[in-house]
Amino acid sequence: MAKIKTYVRPMQGWWRRNPFFVRYMIREASSVFLAIYAVILLVGLARLTQGEAAWDAWRAALTSFGSLVFHWLALLTVGYHAYTWWKVAPKTAPDLRFAGRPLPELVITAGGWFATLGASALVYIIVRWM
């Protein structure tokens, strides 16, 4: 049977045609960094169960140039994910009302950003001083 030759619009590189889609793809790409980071933590946990020498070897590996580059890229992309997560929160969150009126979108988004800042400060304080 002859192959039917209908025109298929090429979609190669579709997201590069529009800055909105470029930002979308950066946000989606953050998940790859997040997954790898979760695996790095999981490996760290495994090394922790093997004793002090194994744990120190894991920590030493994290000082390598490749690891630092990865974590910088992960910080940038996952940070962008955090920024956009709260940006869309007014549209994804359930209907939040205050005194019978829907909460303004900016309040929800800014609340999320402040929650991230607060949680980050808390984590830093706990890791450093507690």
Partner 1 sequence: MKRSNEPIFWSLFGAGGVLSALVAPILILITGIIAPIGVWMPPQALDYPRVLAFAQNGFGKLLLLAVISLFLFHAVHRIYHGLHDVGMHVGTGTMVAAYGSALLGTLVAAYLLLVIGF
**Residues interacting with partner 1, by CB under 8 A?**
11-12, 15, 25, 28, 30-32, 34-35, 37-42, 44-46, 48-49, 52, 55-56, 59, 62-63, 67-68, 70-72, 74-75, 78-79, 81-82, 85-86, 92, 112, 115-116, 119-120, 123-124, 127-128
Contacts of 112 (CB under 8 A, 6+ apart): 85, 86, 89
* In the complex, least distance from residue 5 CB atom to partner 1, rounded to whole angstroms: 20
Find the shortest distance in angstroms from Cβ 100 to partner 1: 26
Nearer to partner 1, 2 or 126 (CB): 126
- Least distance CB 3 / partner 1 (angstroms): 19
Q: Give the shortest CB-12-to-partner 1 separation in angstroms.
A: 7
Please state the separation of Cα 72 from the chain's center in Å: 12
Q: For partner 1, give the closer residue by CB, 6 or 92.
A: 92
Q: Which is nearer to partner 1, 64 or 102 (CB)?
A: 64
Give residues with Cβ within 8 angstroms of 120, minimum separation 6. none
Burial class (CB in 10 A: 0-12, 13-18, 19+), 73: middle
How far apart are the C-alpha atoms of 37 and 45, rounded to whole Å? 12
Instruction: Let me know the angle formed at the C-alpha of 72 by 123 and 29, rounded to the nearest 5 degrees.
Output: 100
